[in-house]
Structure 1
């Protein structure tokens, strides 16, 4: 099985971008996930183990794997007879045995977000965003500091991973739609949690998830544009105005992102999107192609000169040089939004993961109700290699899988954490495991 920790709307490090590579920005600007190079095509998935944890409400957390340990954040809403809160738990990735659990906070207050899909693991450091702030723990579960970066009201995006380097951690207020609250980007000392710098962006609401190259932090403002800040000082370098929708993915000298085509003669739900590639040095658009509908939460993955994205309830591969579509998988619906019972569908907010010669895409099929699935797709041809069902009314929503050489990990909307393995031998449809 491939051995890369897949994109996970996390810190963005080129050349394989957001929303979900749980990593850090290297000075060279290259992605450095752990593990050996993925080489094996995945097939015949089975459930190796699963663990039930609290339903985190609107948030589906993307698990992170590092050195044989699986890290998982989850939360629970405050009820009349029980307080809510958020936790981080570490598991033995192979067996699912719990190694430690750290409570991040407890409260009787009711919130929309108790924690965000935001975990980043970097060496012996772990970062996660909760309502009280951005928290750093050791990978042994010891809390080191919490930096208060959010406003009192609701943050806008579900996924708000910080930018992590050796020298600085960058996070934001993540626009809440309240006019009198200006978005702020913070530079934080990774050792102490002290504020290094802050940059306030008046009249620039709707801050989305941040991304970064080796020297620049990219601050998207949905439907307004993109600002480049100096990573070390927070000083504004430039700003570009345009109907950006989501977080830019950094790939070599390019920024790749979606734009929303806002036609005043169309209803809001009818406005479709284009995918654009911008030169990150002079901000000129290299190309722009129509892609249909998607949400701003959705991220992109890039590998071997191709962009992989989810749009119009399907998965597409496009050429990095031109934006030309190479293949499309699933998403076929009629004019009433219905599909055949086995037709693969994916969330408009999800991010596919590329590992080895396969693409991993959480999705679902629609029968009498929704049945969540993990689909495995040939990265070269777009053909389906395998699928595994999570269950009735279980979906990963915007969560992104973590892929290792042995297992694929994914969380479902009711709190179940799954580990899927590859069956090497089967008899009469039953997997024989050693």
Structure 2
């Protein structure tokens, strides 16, 4: 029997795929009978972090340690086809004693073009690929062979939210925020991607807690919680404020053309709003049940998000319901959908008849048709819903749990649920 094997080609550079947080890639991910082609042990430090992929290599951020002990946060590189660990580099050592040990923050770049205004003293305008990680202490840059290049301190204080905090890497800059409740006031900071030297800093006196950053078309979108909550838009190159709007923002912003998809929370009511990024007017708004760290994906004029144990797809222009998946299976309430080509992936508890021997149903990874939400394939994923977001390249999906990194592929032939081609 002949069948197409994965090529593992393609790049999934960060959680949410791109700076705009669209969660959508043209890659052809696996469908049909999915199976785990390899597993790799990772440290158990919370939260599980999203793998990233480039040049047939999977990169993962994880932390060794526990409460009242030293925490070592490392970046590991794995062969995308076999799961063999190629290298492991410690980027941070700390005694930070909170329920979380790092941010879900890894970003890998294919090339980095440095603007002419900052080329002085550099040998080349374009450098090798690079990896960036945001820990509680700051931003770290590594080469793709594991060399730690520089660290710039941008400490997290108080509670370490948001858990998902990949920096923006664009235009020769790495942009992050001073996360956590803090004194002095919050700030957004940009450093040179080559050197780690600070380029600009935007401070905020009244706004308290910045959340996960997004970016598109030379602008950075900064959602703020508490205090004067709202959305602030900064010029990527200079950090100068373009505009700001007061909104009860409750999560990361997704940018699609002239539309901003913004999670909101007013009193106890949560919703998703489509905001015109030119006029700042709300085009449509839909009530949802969701949590802060989950986000929105958008592809081919459909908006995907999880609410009330379902994955919901709506029209980008009108908010009209296209289809939904669930609540049987019961979709994880903290899941952010991921789209690859014509497939959208979801993490969900299967119906009760699929329960495991101990009576607790494991979570399954579902591959759904983007046109109608029909199941195209699935595979057991985790015994709990505590998972990272996905990375998808040609023929393979990568998912991390608390102590394991997995690669899923399509099975060409199976008997009684067991894949015979592995």
TM-score by length of 1: 0.84
CA contact 1:78–1:109 (8 Å) conserved in 2: no
In the alignment, which of 343, 357, 365 is matched to residue 358 of structure 1?
343
Partner Cα distance (1:310, 1:116) in 2: 22
Give yes or no for the alignment of 1:404 onto 2:397: no
In the other structure, the counterpart of 2:83 is 96
CA contact 2:141–2:151 (8 Å) conserved in 1: yes
CA contact 1:10–1:119 (8 Å) conserved in 2: no
In the other structure, the counterpart of 1:336 is none
Q: Structure 1 residues 161 and 428, CA, compared in 2 at 3 Å: closer, same or farther? A: closer
In the alignment, which of 179, 190, 194 is matched to residue 191 of structure 1?
194
CA contact 1:155–1:173 (8 Å) conserved in 2: no
Q: Structure 1 residues 109 and 352, CA, compared in 2 at 3 Å: closer, same or farther? A: closer
Q: Structure 1 residues 183 and 109, CA, compared in 2 at 3 Å: closer, same or farther? A: closer
Partner Cα distance (1:157, 1:64) in 2: 19
In the other structure, the counterpart of 1:294 is 290
In the other structure, the counterpart of 2:61 is 73
SS of the aligned residue for 1:222 comes to strand
Partner Cα distance (1:116, 1:370) in 2: 28
CA contact 2:258–2:278 (8 Å) conserved in 1: yes
Q: Aligned ranges for residues 155-170 of structure 1 at < 5 Å? A: 155-170=160-175
| Structure 1: gaps spanning 5 or more residues | 22-32, 263-270, 332-342
Partner Cα distance (1:189, 1:199) in 2: 15
Partner Cα distance (2:30, 2:251) in 1: 31
In the other structure, the counterpart of 1:380 is 371
In the other structure, the counterpart of 1:274 is 271
In the alignment, which of 373, 387, 395 is matched to residue 385 of structure 2?
395
Cα-Cα RMSD: 2.3
Q: Structure 1 residues 50 and 329, CA, compared in 2 at 3 Å: closer, same or farther? A: same
Q: CA deviation at 1:300?
A: 1.3
Q: CA deviation at 1:83?
A: 2.9
CA contact 1:375–1:384 (8 Å) conserved in 2: yes
In the alignment, which of 211, 220, 227 is matched to residue 232 of structure 2?
227
Partner Cα distance (2:171, 2:107) in 1: 13
Partner Cα distance (1:7, 1:102) in 2: 19
CA contact 1:186–1:195 (8 Å) conserved in 2: yes
Q: Structure 1 residues 8 and 136, CA, compared in 2 at 3 Å: closer, same or farther? A: closer
Q: Aligned ranges for residues 104-253 of structure 1 at < 5 Å? A: 104-123=91-110, 124-174=129-179, 176-178=180-182, 180-222=183-225, 224-253=229-258
Partner Cα distance (1:137, 1:89) in 2: 11
In the other structure, the counterpart of 2:118 is none
How many pairs are equivalent? Answer: 390
CA contact 2:29–2:397 (8 Å) conserved in 1: no
Partner Cα distance (2:316, 2:341) in 1: 18
Partner Cα distance (1:7, 1:101) in 2: 19
SS of the aligned residue for 2:209 comes to coil
Q: CA deviation at 1:152?
A: 3.7
Partner Cα distance (1:3, 1:329) in 2: 29
Q: Aligned ranges for residues 327-342 of structure 1 at < 5 Å? A: 327-331=323-327
Q: Deviations over 1:310-367 (max 9, x none)?
A: 1112111110001111111112xxxxxxxxxxx3223332211111221111233475
Partner Cα distance (1:83, 1:214) in 2: 41
SS of the aligned residue for 2:362 comes to strand
Partner Cα distance (2:222, 2:252) in 1: 8
Partner Cα distance (2:375, 2:398) in 1: 19
CA contact 2:29–2:392 (8 Å) conserved in 1: no
CA contact 1:113–1:131 (8 Å) conserved in 2: no
SS of the aligned residue for 1:206 comes to strand
Q: Deviations over 1:181-227 (max 9, x none)?
A: 31110011111101111111111012101111122111101261101
CA contact 1:91–1:98 (8 Å) conserved in 2: yes
Partner Cα distance (1:364, 1:388) in 2: 11
CA contact 2:260–2:274 (8 Å) conserved in 1: yes
Q: CA deviation at 1:99?
A: 0.8
Q: CA deviation at 1:416?
A: 0.9
CA contact 1:77–1:110 (8 Å) conserved in 2: no
Q: Structure 1 residues 155 and 207, CA, compared in 2 at 3 Å: closer, same or farther? A: same
Q: CA deviation at 1:122?
A: 0.4
CA contact 1:357–1:378 (8 Å) conserved in 2: yes
Give yes or no for the alignment of 1:9 onto 2:15: yes
Q: Deviations over 1:374-402 (max 9, x none)?
A: 111111111122221134x33344x1111
| Structure 2: gaps spanning 5 or more residues | 1-5, 111-128
